[in-house]
Structure formats: structure tokens, C-alpha cells
């Protein structure tokens, strides 16, 4: 089932949104206990569906009217818990809708529940959640990727038609890769961050999951737009938006010298050949600064984490543990409320921002980030797309990398450049391993090049 197919059936009266939503709720009842994708299923889902059916009957339907969608637990929905999968926000109820939720409600989408994630979006496996591990539907002993693993599993296991996640560094593209889905990371600023529990302000972006490029495009077109409540919100000029697609694909082969699984690499080469046969021109490109992307990200991100999470102090909202004085309240609340990975990143970020290290690490990382941005701007004068594997390996086993944070961080090696530079990127299913695990490739485009990514994505789907 796709949005396009479901929408056509809804408009023709072949099904109702209540029937469609009921089918997904049935799947949740049957599958969620084992997969742990949803943290909460909303009791008013069928009421939302009834209202959507009314809009369809009155001829007021849009592209998402009556479509069941799952929402990551760090996106605020008024009157609903938004815990960011952390104990420190276990009982926090959102007082307003995020911008993207307003857009979905205006479009008549059926928001069926909130999904599991790595705590405060810190992780690449959805194992750091305070509410248990989410399992990959292709192999329940493996991770679904993270941090938006719950949303990915909801779509991959037919518990939602589409879903929203958030990206700070591959947190939608990586689980899309591990779960056989399409995942879009939009241009920074194309989708408002208003109402998103922040991790890294200069990196975060709301991102959609779907089973097809068309589904992801439909969701993106609904949620994108200018928001006066977000100072980073951007609307491109018409001439900036890609529309022609282009046919020159640059591949930085030097970035794949080591650390890439053989089946991933073989599948990538096969995908390149398919694109050649489809009429695309393939050229080698050199991105010398990009090899520093991951190191740069893991300096800038913890610094922003340290600043953002300082608000969770047991005073204003969230968990509170009583102490002898204010400092004692802070200490006890944060010790009880934050998980190990979140604490690790807060401590690392605080160190990076401390006196004597700010210039040595943080300022230097920003200089490298700007160099990477300039590198990409220059390369997009020569090519229309940059293509890489989405991840260096297929989905790994639950618990496999938990004791080695650096090994876990390396899962993001091909994701970091797009987040650091703010360009859009799309992950596309490209086949399976010999053991039946999904594989994926990604395309990056210049700023505001989402339309170009949709075009090449649809062409790539035709080659599979």
C-alpha cells in the first residue's frame, strides 16, 4: 500500500479511512509487543479517521487526508506525552503542536501514535531508549537503526503507512537503510524545527519515511514551508529549486577504501552500473575534507547537546529528584533521568566548550565544517548528484556495538556530510544481502535540490 494507491481508493469510496486505520491498528496489536515500535497508540485514531472520511466525502481531501502516520517521540503533539524516549521527560505533556504536526492535521492525516527512538535522538540503533530496544522486522535479533528506529519499523512492518523521524546525523537515512525504506533528509531550514525537542540546533531536521519515493515526496510537500516561529526556516527562490534532475553523478571512491562491508560494496557497484545503463554519466570526484566529517560532527553535536540538555534540571519541567540544595537537585535528577549515552555526550560536550578547549576543539571543528561546505558547493558546480552507500554495513545484531561507542558512531560515516553542510539527501533501497537484510544507496544534491532527488529516486526505483 502507498499513499497514492490508498488516496485513490479513499476518493473512489473503495475503502474508508476508518477501515484503513483499523487495518494498521490491527497490525500494531499483533506486532508491536515483539517489535516495540510504538510507545503509545492514540485512542482517538478512529475519531481522526472519521473526520477524514467526512472531508473526503465533502470533496475537501488533500494528498494526506485519511492516511495513517506515525510520529517520532521527540515531536510535540498537543496534549500528548513527548518523552524523547527518556525517563527525565517520562511525564511531560506537550502544550502545543509542532509546526509539522499542525501541517499534518491541516492536511487531514491520521496521527496514530508516537514511536520509540534512541534517548534524545542520541544513537544509531534505537537501543538507548529508556523504554526498551526496538527490533528490526527483517531479523528480530538485529537493530532497526537509529535514532528514528521506531518510525522506520512502523512503516516497514505495516503498522503505519508513512512516518516522521528527525535527522541530526543519518537518523532517518540509516534506519531507512536497515529496514528497506526510502528516507529523506531535507535541506536544513526547509522543514521547521519548531516543536522538536532539540538535540543539535544547527543539524536537526524533521525527515519522512516511506516505502516509495512518491510517498516521501508527498509527506515532504505537506510539512515543508516557511515558519515565522523558526528563525532558521527558509523558503527557496524558484530558481534555486532543482527541477531538471541532471544526469551527472559524482562518486567519491576514495571514501570507501576501508570499513565497508563486501556485500554493501558489491551492491553499490551493481547500482552504479544500473544507473549507467539508465543513461547517467558517472564521474570520479575527490572530497578531501569529507573524511573529517564524522570527527567534526562528534565535536559540534555534543557541544550543542550539552547546551540544549542543560534545561532539564528538575526545576522547570520533567523528572524531579529532591535534594538538599539546587545543585543536589540537579545532580540527583540528571543522574536518575539521563541514560548512559546521553550522559556521555553531555560530558563530552561540556568538556569541548570548557575554558582552554573551546578554541582547540569547537572553533577548529567549525572551521573544518565550513571547509566541507565550500568543498560541496564547488563539487556541485561539476556534478548534479553525489552517490555513496547509505551505511557501511547492513543491520548489526542487538547489543553488538553497545560496549564500543566509537564503532557505533562509525555507522554514520556516510551520513555526516549532508548534515554538516545542510544539503538534502535521500536513502533508497537497493537490494538485499545473501542473508535477506536490506541494502541501500544514497544520493546527495545541492541546497534545495529535493525535487532533483525525487526524480533520480524514481528513476532508480525503475532500475531495481
Tell me the average pLDDT across 144-172.
97
Burial of 326 (0-12, 13-18, 19+ CB in 10 A): exposed
Per-residue pLDDT at 309 exceeds 60: yes
Catalytic residue at 171?
yes
Catalytic residue at 22?
no
The residue annotated as part of the active site, out of 31, 72, 103, 211, is: 72
Per-residue pLDDT at 154 exceeds 70: yes
E strand segments, 314-446: 385-389, 425-432, 438-444
Per-residue pLDDT at 237 exceeds 80: no
Q: Give pTM, 2 decimals.
A: 0.96
Higher pLDDT, 402 or 195: 195
The predicted-structure confidence for 261-289, as pLDDT tens digits, reads as follows 999 999 999 999 999 999 999 999 999 99
What percentage of residues in the chain have a pLDDT greater than 70? 98
Write down the pLDDT at residue 352. 95
Tell me the average pLDDT across 319-341.
94
Which superfamily does 3-238 belong to? Amidase signature (AS) domain (3.90.1300.10)
The domain locations on the chain are 3-238
Angle CA(395)–CA(397)–CA(401) in degrees, nearest 5?
A: 100
The residue annotated as part of the active site, out of 129, 171, 293, 306, is: 171
Burial of 279 (0-12, 13-18, 19+ CB in 10 A): exposed
pLDDT bin (cut points 50, 70, 90) of residue 197 is: very high
Write down the pLDDT at residue 437. 98
The SS3 assignment for 426 reads strand
The residue annotated as part of the active site, out of 83, 147, 271, 415, is: 147
Write down the pLDDT at residue 304. 97
Catalytic residue at 72?
yes
Q: Which cell numbers hold the place of 66?
A: 485519511
Amino acid at each position: 500500500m502507498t499513499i497514492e494507491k490508498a488516496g485513490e481508493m479513499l476518493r473512489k469510496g473503495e475503502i474508508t479511512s476508518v477501515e484503513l486505520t483499523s487495518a494498521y491498528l490491527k497490525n500494531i496489536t499483533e506486532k508491536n509487543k515483539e517489535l516495540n515500535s510504538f510507545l503509545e497508540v492514540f485512542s482517538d485514531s478512529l475519531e481522526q479517521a472519521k473526520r477524514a472520511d467526512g472531508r473526503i466525502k465533502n470533496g475537501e481531501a488533500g494528498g494526506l487526508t485519511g492516511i495513517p502516520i506515525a510520529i517520532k517521540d521527540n515531536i510535540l503533539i498537543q496534549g500528548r506525552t513527548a518523552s524523547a524516549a527518556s525517563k527525565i521527560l517520562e511525564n511531560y505533556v506537550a502544550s502545543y503542536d509542532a509546526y509539522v504536526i499542525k501541517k499534518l492535521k491541516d492536511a487531514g492525516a491520521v496521527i496514530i501514535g508516537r514511536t520509540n527512538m534512541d534517548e534524545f535522538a542520541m544513537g544509531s540503533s534505537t537501543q538507548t531508549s529508556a523504554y526498551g530496544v526496538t527490533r528490526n522486522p527483517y531479523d528480530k535479533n538485529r537493530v532497526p537503526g537509529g535514532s528514528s528506529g521506531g518510525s522506520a519499523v512502523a512503516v516497514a512492518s505495516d503498522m503505519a503507512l508513512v512516518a516522521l523521524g528527525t535527522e541530526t546525523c543519518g537518523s532517518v537515512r540509516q534506519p531507512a537503510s536497515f529496514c528497506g525504506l526510502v528516507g529523506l533528509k531535507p535541506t536544513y531550514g526547509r522543514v521547521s524545527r519548531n516543536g522538536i525537542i532539540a538535540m543539535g540546533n544547527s543539524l536537526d531536521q524533521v525527515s519522512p519515511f516511506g516505502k516509495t519515493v512518491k510517498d516521501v515526496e508527498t509527506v515532504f510537500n505537506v510539512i515543508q514551508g516557511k515558519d515565522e516561529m523558526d528563525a532558521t526556516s527558509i523558503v527557496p527562490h524558484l530558481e534555486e529549486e532543482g527541477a531538471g534532475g541532471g544526469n551527472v553523478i559524482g562518486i567519491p571512491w576514495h571514501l570507501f577504501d576501508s570499513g565497508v562491508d563486501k556485500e554493501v560494496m558489491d551492491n553499490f557497484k551493481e547500482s552504479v552500473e544500473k544507473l549507467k545503463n539508465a543513461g547517467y554519466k558517472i564521474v570520479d570526484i575527490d572530497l578531501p575534507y569529507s573524511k573529517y566529517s564524522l570527527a567534526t560532527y562528534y565535536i559540534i553535536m555534543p557541544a550543542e547537546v550539552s547546551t540544549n540538555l542543560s534545561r532539564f534540571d528538575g526545576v522547570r519541567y520533567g523528572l524531579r529528584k529532591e535534594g538538599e540544595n539546587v545543585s543536589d537537585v540537579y545532580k540527583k535528577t540528571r543522574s536518575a533521568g539521563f541514560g548512559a549515552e546521553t550522559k556521555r555526550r553531555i560530558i563530552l560536550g561540556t568538556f569541548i566548550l570548557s575554558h582552554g578547549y573551546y578554541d582547540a576543539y569547537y572553533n577548529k571543528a567549525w572551521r573544518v565544517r565550513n571547509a566541507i561546505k565550500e568543498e560541496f558547493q564547488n563539487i556541485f558546480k561539476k556534478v548534479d548528484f553525489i552517490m555513496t552507500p547509505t551505511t557501511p554495513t547492513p543491520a548489526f545484531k542487538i547489543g553488538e556495538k553497545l560496549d564500543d561507542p566509537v564503532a557505533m558512531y562509525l555507522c554514520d560515516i556516510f551520513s555526516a556530510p549532508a548534515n554538516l553542510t545542510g544539503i538534502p539527501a535521500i536513502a533508497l533501497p537497493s537490494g538485499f544481502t545473501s542473508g535477506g537484510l536490506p541494502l541501500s544507496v544514497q544520493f546527495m544534491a545541492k541546497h534545495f535540490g529535493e525535487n532533483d532527488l525525487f526524480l533520480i529516486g524514481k528513476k532508480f526505483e525503475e532500475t531495481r
